[in-house]
Amino acid sequence: MPVCARALALFAMLPLAAPLVALANDDPAWLAQCDAAGTSRIECLSVHLQALEDDQVQILDTLQTALGNPGPDGTDFAAARALLDTTQTTWWDFAQSDCRMLDLMMGDFGGMGGEAGFCLIEHYEHRNAQLERWVARLQ
């Protein structure tokens, strides 16, 4: 391959590597704490993901309870509550598929691994923040 073609190919691949570089240089605080404690990254990912899952169960319970009330005029909390179940299932299916696709795409790229775990954590963090905003609107 000519040198200029190699340079163009490498330049084209930079956006793919950027998230990995950012991840390595910008570890979240919870991961830095695990590293400092000598905890393996896989164990750390697992523990953090479980905490996010537990948080989501509590947030959803709070939201479901709030939507069990009649709600102000012009609202339909019963329909919203039923739709929440549907949207949560749809979100879960999307998050699983999205992270599975990433796992298949990255494989054991460079021996790093863990991309699917980071992906699920990111989905949980975003979804939990969204659910918390909805709960706050109902209070």
Q: Which of 26, 19, 12 is nearest to 102 (CA)?
A: 19
Q: Give me the amino acid identity at 91.
A: W
Name the least confident of 41-45, 64-68, 90-94, 135-139: 41-45
Instruction: Give the model's pLDDT for residue 27.
Output: 64
What pLDDT, in 10s, does the model give residues 17-53?
444 434 444 667 777 777 777 777 778 888 889 999 9
Q: Tell me the C-alpha distance between 124 and 94, whole Å.
A: 12
Q: What is the mean pLDDT of residues 70-78?
A: 92
Q: Tell me the C-alpha distance between 52 and 132, whole Å.
A: 13
Q: Tell me the C-alpha distance between 49 and 106, whole Å.
A: 20
Tell me the torsion sign for CA atoms 3, 9, 112, 38: positive
Q: Which residue has the tokens 């340079």?
A: 7
Q: Tell me the C-alpha distance between 102 and 19, whole Å.
A: 12
Instruction: Give the model's pLDDT for residue 18.
Output: 41
